[in-house]
Each structure stands twice: as structure tokens, then as C-alpha cells.
Amino acid sequence: MFIMRREFPEEGDIVIGTVKDVKPYGAFVELLEYPGKEGMIHISEVTSGWVKNIRDHVKVGQRVVAKVLRVDERKGHIDLSLKRVTEQQKRAKVQEWKRFQRASKMLERAAEKLGKSLEEAWEEVGYLLEDEFGELYNAFETMVIEGKEVLDDLEISEEWKNVLYEVAKESIELTNVEVEGVIEMKSYAPDGIKQIKKALTTALKANPYEDVEVKITYIGAPKYRVVVIAPDYKSGEEVFKKVCEKAVATIKKLGGEGTYYRESKK
Amino acid sequence: MAKKKQAKQAEVNIGMVGHVDHGKTSLTKALTGVWTDRHSEELRRGISIRLGYADCEIRKCPQCGTYTTKPRCPNCLAETEFLRRVSFVDSPGHETLMATMLSGASLMDGAILVIAANEPCPQPQTKEHLMALEILGIDKIIIVQNKIDLVDEKQAEENYEQIKEFVKGTIAENAPIIPISAHHEANIDVLLKAIQDFIPTPKRDPDATPRMYVARSFDINKPGTEIKDLKGGVLGGAIIQGVFKVGDEIEIRPGIKVTEGNKTFWKPLTTKIVSLAAGNTILRKAHPGGLIGVGTTLDPYLTKSDALTGSVVGLPGTLPPIREKITIRANLLDRVVGTKEELKIEPLRTGEVLMLNIGTATTAGVITSARGDIADIKLKLPICAEIGDRVAISRRVGSRWRLIGYGTIEG
């Protein structure tokens, strides 16, 4: 995301815009990331298959995601295509735009606290954060997760750091993810129930993260439910696997049987 | 005369047997206050059996001599004295549940044969249940003529004569016949006295090697239980001899089927007794009498859903062999009981499939060789049994298994 930093998009970029005008031969799109810039979607680039009437496919005011085919900076022409954008690219672009808008609002709110304009905010800290975190929203999110210290190495004034962190905390609520599954275990030992308990208790200790919670409860022999509550899917999955494998390895070492599987959300 | 100390545990098991709907469960209720058909209580108590089970105290009034189950005399309100705690095994009376009845019968020291006064005697299951008592050698019997409130004097006398004719020449020939109404709890005191007189507590050897028949097995943990609160598997059954104590190591046979390499065999389970209970009463040790819940340290996976029903429990190294085939000497009845038309019972045939009951175990078996009254049988499920043990034999007649006699194990 490089709004206001490049005047023109580059060939191959995925861009987002609003349809401004529809002509028989094509549609004109105002590019949201490049204020004042307009691109044209030729009728042959609207959709695969034959287009009888372009107005059946695009309407004035419609939000569209397009691919940049050619850019003629001298003439100010930007040629776009709708049909060459995959559904996944489209979804990713819409999501990216939403995050940008939200981050921009947070930045504006931080600027207000310091009596500065949004333009000044971008010049003084916005671009710097983008360069460091890849995306402005990610900068705010990382502050909330890891703390204000993530800004320590940046050449940003203390008062900017404080208001940025403050706004980030106000605006972003972390949502935990749950990873759920089942361990199946059997023991044929004289003290089988003790071995089951030992395997599961040992498994709980295999969780390396302080901010990840693991609960194991009984379903009905030989099934035991495992619920991992984590700040993100990556660590949730990691802990789930570690815990389950520890339980299974322990019961097997004791001469029993074990296996585990994920369970889809109900 | 010194007052007898009140017992925590029953000392004798009395079966409630008879035709379906003749009032066995109602009679159990009248005697014990317990509806044995409420199996939803299983989890609450941690122990119960599909065979209904309930205890009561038999007490006597020192003033007027009335027998009762109440602490205070229903006649003169004097405080009553404890005589004995007894346990009732309420078995199903429906013809399709004969195997369950036979399992229950193996836990009985005596029986009450319940016959409804308002129906002709005998009914099919009345016959079949009496035959089962005969086959299993349960000879301490009381006959209860129930629903006496629904008939007039003449009908009652007719029914009485039918009963006498029915039991002539059988194991119950000299059994007392007591008219009662379980529903109205009429004449219950006379029945209690008869129980004291006709079903004495067997003499037990406290030093005998302990042994128990498993009637049921459970997982008493509820879904959602936390790991630290999990309990081991529970066995429910009757001790037939000796004394078990908390802390005993025990062996359970036949155990579980295991495959090692390409060989499949049955392997006994071993575990430790961590608790003993008779109903809601916790015990440190348990002797024969009543239904006993045995808490173990086994994985409840092994005990859930009655997986160990039919097993035999004892101290390690003391149990009979595990047998996958047996040789029996058969004693067959002349005619099939339990059906309206009595069919003649043919001799055993090679290749025939039978249902066999040994203790609380039920298994199918195929006769591999039948010669006279000797039969070699290959069992579908193995049993744990001694030479000389009795086996109830049932044969498929129409769409039902019918009791046709018994055998003794010879090898």
C-alpha cells in the first residue's frame, strides 16, 4: 500500500476503484489509492465471454477491483482489466483496502490528539511505519500484541509513540482463536486410569507459551477433548499438536494405545 | 437376648422371579421402598444393575411380635429390633429376557416366585422361571400369591389349588404359599416372617478364596469431567464366596482378547480395588450378600457399557481356567417350558447351536460332537469355569431361545 507515494500504479498491480462513467466501449474508474487518477476498462476486458451490453456488467458507483494492464504516464492513461483478476486477488484487495481505511482513521485520530493534520501524520510517522511493518494496520496491531516497545528503534518522537499506542489500544481488540480436537487413548494396565491421567497431565506441560491456554476434559472413554485458546492460529495449531503428540507418546510408552485428530467447529 | 448389630451389607440374595406383570417389581417396592426400574439413578449412585436390585432390613417388634421393615412397629408403634439385611434381585419377567434372568439367578441364595392370583396358573414364564431355579439348584423358595385384592375367596382358592398342582414334584413342592397384595402392601409382615424362616443365610466360610460374578460394569465419569477427577472403571456383581478388601489386587477373567503376532488369545486383566460399596454404603471389605460395586484403577474404557459382564473376579492366580471349548454332561427336560404348547425336547445334535449360561456369562456354542448325554461344545466367547459347574442350556425354538435343561462341565 503506497497511497500518495507514487503518482501512477505499475503494470500488473491490483487496484481498487469506483466506477465513474460507463460508455458503450468501456468504463471509467476512479482509483482510490491514486487520488485524481482514472483508469479505463475496455469492453473486451470486462468479463470472459461475449459482452453485448457493458451496462449489464458494470454500473456507475460500483466498487471494483481491477488489474493494471498498461500505464502511459505521459498521456495519463491507465488501462485496466476486470476479467484478469482472480476471486482470491479480489478478496485480498478488498480486505487490504478495509485495513488501510481503518488504519488511516486511527492515524487521523492520533494526529488530532497532537493538533496535527492527516497529511502531517503521514509525513512524520505514517510512511515510516509502513516501511517498517509493511502495512500501517499491521503496525497498530503489532503494538497491541507486543507492546509499545516495537516502536523503540524507530525515529519517532516520544509524543507520537504515546498517542499511536494509545489509539491502537483503543481501537483494536484482539480475538483469541480456538483450536479444538480429540485425543483417543486406551490403557490395559492394572492402573490404567492413573496412566491416562499421567499422559494427559504430562501433555498439558508440553505447552511452551504463557499466553496460550489448554484445557483437556472427558468426553467418554476412550475420548478426551482438547481445547487450545491462543492469540493466533499459528501458535494455536502448534500447541495443539505438541500437546496431543505428547499425550499419545506418553500413553504408548506406558504400553497403551493413542491417537488424535482435529475437530471442525460446530 | 443381645441386640443384633445392624449390618451395612446384606447377607443373603433373594431373587424375585415369575411371569411378566405378576408384580415382581411392585413387591420389591413394597419391601424396600425402591423402584428397581429407575436405572437413570445408575450415574448418581455409581452402581446399579439392569437386573433390578434393592436392599431392606427385616425387623421385629419386641412387644407384639410383628415383622416389619420399619424402625417403628406399624401395629403398636414400639421401636423394632434389627434381624437381618437382605437383598432382592428383581429379574425381568418377559420371555425375551430369559438370559438376563438366568444371569440373575446365578446370584441368588433363594427366591420368591410371584404368581398373580387373578390369572390361571401356570403362565409360560412362571414355568420357565421355576425350571431355571430347579436347574440352578436354588431350593429355598417362597411362593407369593399376589394381587389377592383383585379376586374373591373362591377364585383365590382355585388359584391356590392350581399352584399346588403346578409345583408338585418340583423343587418348590414344599414352599409356603403366601397370599399378599404388593400394591396395597397387605400381608407383607407374613412374607417377612416366611423369609426369615425359609431363606436362611447360608453358612459362609470367611476364609474361602474370594470370588465374585460380574453382573455389570460401568464408566461412572460424566462428559466434561476434569482430568484430575477421573475415576477408574467400576464392576457390579455379587460375591459368591470369601471376602474382598479395599487394596486387594484382583484378577478378572476371561479378560480381554489380544492379538500378538498371528495368535489371538484371551488375557486376564489385573487391577486393584480402590473402593467397595453396597448401594450408597461405603465398605472397607465385602462378603457375599447384596450387589457390590467394586471401584478399580482400570481405564474406564475397559468397563464401560457392561463390557465385563459375565466375568469372574478373584485374587490373582486363584481363578478357574479360561475355556474356549467345554465338554458337558447334559440333563435335558422332557418338554420345552415357556411356550403355550409344550414341545418335546429332542436330544442334542452335532452341529447344533446352543445358548449357554454359566454364572453371569452368556455365550453361544456349537456342538462339535454329541454322543448320548455327552457333548463337546466350541464356545463363541470363552468362559471362566470349574469342572463340575452347572451350565443352563437353551435351544432355539421358533424365534426364541428356550430353556431345555442343564449340563455339568466335565472338561
* Domain presence at residue B205: no
Residue A153, judged by CB atoms within 10 A of its CB (0-12, 13-18, 19+), counts as exposed
Question: Of the candidates B282, B314, B346, which is a domain's last residue?
Answer: B314
B194/B216 same-domain check: no
B180/B66 same-domain check: yes
Q: In what helix (H) or strand (E) does residue B371 lie, and over which residues does it extend?
A: strand B361-371
Confidence of residue B334 (pLDDT cuts 50, 70, 90): low
Residue B14, judged by CB atoms within 10 A of its CB (0-12, 13-18, 19+), counts as buried
Task: Write down the pLDDT at residue A6.
Answer: 67
Interface test with A, best of B267, B275, B299 (most A CBs within 10 A): B299
A contacts of B272 (beta carbons < 8 Å): 190-191
* Domain presence at residue B283: yes
B140/B224 same-domain check: no
Task: Write down the pLDDT at residue A80.
Answer: 92
* Domain presence at residue B204: no
Task: Write down the pLDDT at residue B34.
Answer: 64
Question: Which amino acid, residue B336?
Answer: V
Over residues B342-360, the pLDDT tens digits come to: 666 777 777 888 878 777 7
Residue A194 contacts B where some CB pair is shorter than 8 Å: yes
B34/B66 same-domain check: yes
A156 touches A235 (CB < 8 A): no
CATH at B344: 2.40.30.10
User: When comparing pLDDT for B320 and B158, which is higher?
Assistant: B320
Cα–Cα dist B292/B278, whole Å: 5
A contacts of B300 (beta carbons < 8 Å): 193, 221
The three-state secondary structure class of A183 is strand
**Mean pLDDT value of segment B126-149:** 79
Residue B230, judged by CB atoms within 10 A of its CB (0-12, 13-18, 19+), counts as buried
Interface test with B, best of A188, A195, A219, A224 (most B CBs within 10 A): A188
Number of structural domains (chain B) is 3
Q: How far is B111 from chain A (nearest CA, A)?
A: 37
Locate cell 492402573: which residue?
A191
B45/B141 same-domain check: yes
B213 touches B108 (CB < 8 A): no
Least confident of A56-60, A83-87, B93-97, B142-146: B93-97
Task: Write down the pLDDT at residue A264.
Answer: 61
Task: Write down the pLDDT at residue A178.
Answer: 72
Cα–Cα dist A103/A85, whole Å: 25
The three-state secondary structure class of B301 is helix
Task: Write down the pLDDT at residue A266.
Answer: 40
Q: Is B394 annotated as a binding residue?
A: no
Beta strands B285-286; B81-90: pairing state:
unpaired
Q: How many CA atoms lie within 13 A of B345 on its CB side?
A: 22
B261/B146 same-domain check: no
B356 touches B364 (CB < 8 A): yes
The CATH architecture of the domain made up of A177-262 is: 2-Layer Sandwich (3.30)
B30/B169 same-domain check: yes
Cα–Cα dist B251/A113, whole Å: 77
Select from 2.160.20.10, 2.40.50.140, 3.40.50.12140, 2.40.70.10 the CATH code of A14-84.
2.40.50.140
Beta-sheet strands, E only, within A92-234: 177-186, 213-220, 223-230
Q: How far is A261 from chain B (nearest CA, A)?
A: 18
Residue A2, beta-bridge partner list: none
User: When comparing pLDDT for B337 and A57, which is higher?
Assistant: A57
The minimal CB distance from A196 to the residues B224, B226, B299 is found for B299
Over residues B391-404, the pLDDT tens digits come to: 888 887 777 677 77
CATH at B161: 3.40.50.300
* Domain presence at residue B172: yes
The three-state secondary structure class of B166 is helix
Confidence of residue B369 (pLDDT cuts 50, 70, 90): confident
* Domain presence at residue B7: no
B84/B173 same-domain check: yes
Q: Of A58, A48, A53, whose CA–CA distance to A84 is shortest? A: A48
Cα–Cα dist B405/B283, whole Å: 38
Q: Does domain A89-170 have CATH number 1.10.10.10?
A: no
Task: Write down the pLDDT at residue B116.
Answer: 81
B238 touches B280 (CB < 8 A): no
Q: In what helix (H) or strand (E) does residue B229 lie, and over which residues does it extend?
A: none
Cα–Cα dist B181/B409, whole Å: 42
Residues 290 to 329 of B: which have CB under 8 A from any A CB?
A: 297-302, 304
Domain residue ranges in chain A:
14-84, 89-170, 177-262
B254/B226 same-domain check: yes
Cα–Cα dist B11/B88, whole Å: 11
Question: Of the candidates B258, B291, B314, which is a domain's last residue?
Answer: B314
Residue-level pLDDT, tens digit, chain A, 266 residues:
445 466 788 879 889 999 988 988 899 898 888 888 889 898 888 888 878 788 788 878 988 899 999 788 878 889 899 888 888 788 788 878 877 887 887 888 788 888 888 878 887 888 878 787 887 887 887 887 777 777 777 777 877 888 888 788 777 766 677 787 888 888 888 888 888 887 888 888 777 766 677 878 888 888 887 888 777 766 787 788 778 888 888 888 788 888 887 766 54
Q: How far is A194 from chain B (nearest CA, A)?
A: 7
Q: How many CA atoms lie within 13 A of A29 on its CB side?
A: 30
A contacts of B233 (beta carbons < 8 Å): 192-193
**Mean pLDDT value of segment B317-328:** 83
Q: Give every CB contact of residue B202 below 8 A, 6+ residues apart in sequence.
A: B12, B109, B288
B307/B359 same-domain check: no
Do residue B232 and residue A192 have CB atoms under 8 angstroms apart? yes
Task: Write down the pLDDT at residue A27.
Answer: 93
B contacts of A200 (beta carbons < 8 Å): 227
Peptide bond into B254 cis (omega under 30): yes
A contacts of B313 (beta carbons < 8 Å): none
Residue B72, beta-bridge partner list: B79
B153/B227 same-domain check: no
B179/B48 same-domain check: yes
The minimal CB distance from B301 to the residues A200, A201, A222 is found for A222
Cα–Cα dist B310/A264, whole Å: 39
Question: Of the candidates B314, B349, B366, which is a domain's last residue?
Answer: B314
Asked if pLDDT for residue B73 goes beyond 60, the answer is yes
A contacts of B294 (beta carbons < 8 Å): none
Task: Write down the pLDDT at residue A87.
Answer: 80
Q: How many CA atoms lie within 13 A of A231 on its CB side?
A: 11
Task: Write down the pLDDT at residue B50.
Answer: 45
* Domain presence at residue B206: no
Range of the domain at B385: 322-409
Interface test with A, best of B43, B226, B231, B301 (most A CBs within 10 A): B301
Task: Write down the pLDDT at residue B170.
Answer: 78
Q: What Cα–Cα distance (Å) separates residue A220 from each residue in A45, B224, B293, B301?
A: 59, 9, 20, 8
The minimal CB distance from A196 to the residues B223, B226, B230 is found for B230
**Mean pLDDT value of segment B112-122:** 79
Q: What percentage of residues in chain B have a pLDDT greater than 90? A: 0
Confidence of residue B286 (pLDDT cuts 50, 70, 90): confident
B213 touches B241 (CB < 8 A): no
**Mean pLDDT value of segment B271-283:** 81
Q: Give every CB contact of residue A249 below 8 A, 6+ residues apart in sequence.
A: A258
Q: What Cα–Cα distance (Å) separates residue B103 from each residue in A134, A235, B15, B24, B407?
A: 75, 55, 11, 17, 16
pLDDT mean across residues, chain B? 76
* Domain presence at residue B6: no
Q: How far apart are the first and last CA of chain B?
A: 50
Residue B137 grid coordinates: 439348584
* Domain presence at residue B66: yes
Task: Write down the pLDDT at residue A68.
Answer: 93
Residue B78 contacts A where some CB pair is shorter than 8 Å: no
